[in-house]
Structure 1
Amino acid sequence: MGDIERALREEGVAVGKATVYRTLGLLATAGLVQEHDFGEGFKRYEPLVAQSHHEHLICLSCGKVVEFSSERLERMKALIAEEHGFRHHHHRLEIYGFCRECQMRDAATLQPAHTSHEDPR
């Protein structure tokens, strides 16, 4: 939402938030954008026109979202559906965890527990 407002302002277009939300809802209903709720307190939208299918990795610390595609995952999806006699229509995969940057940042702040290698005798 913030990106859209910013882009419109840069183009000199004055539009209210309610108008943007309504328009995004219509675009989602029409299948032109996909709405994502990653539990951040706001929704994200991404265009679907001429976009290949992809999955998401979501960082629980900083909120970073990484898009990825995997041929292996697509093959597994087909095999799993077939194995259960299921005709696949669509799917969505979101993997929640911690991005490399947050792991490195948090690892740098962790203090290792003090251990003594001395013989207690």
Structure 2
Amino acid sequence: MKTYCVPSISKLLDKTGEFRDRPQKRYDDTSIIVVEMSKWGYDSERGRLAIERMNAIHRRFKIANEDFLYVLSTFIYDIFNEWYTLAKKKKLVLASQNTKYGIIVYTNEEQWIPFQEILVKHPLSTL
């Protein structure tokens, strides 16, 4: 829901009729793409195919880069929050910090590690 509050994104969604005419399909398509990337990683074959599919779906629309980045960041932070909650319960991590280089987490081994690295070692699907 966070993404739909941005006027330019809301305007495009209204113009395409995606929410009005096919809300379940749009929800399902988005869920599949996000799950593929978060479960398998964006650099895996399945992750790359999901990104290619996402780009193909959106290619026909004129979308500002900052809108793409905003939507992507909401997914990243949602995935991170879900992962972090579970990882903290399992005592894999003790803290996190957002830096200009990305999210880092402090592990139970007393090391700061980039989120994308620890996500490879401990995918969301394994927590």
TM-score (normalizing by structure 2): 0.27
| Higher helix residue share | 2
| Higher strand residue share | 1
TM-score (normalizing by structure 1): 0.28
The structure with the larger Rg is 1
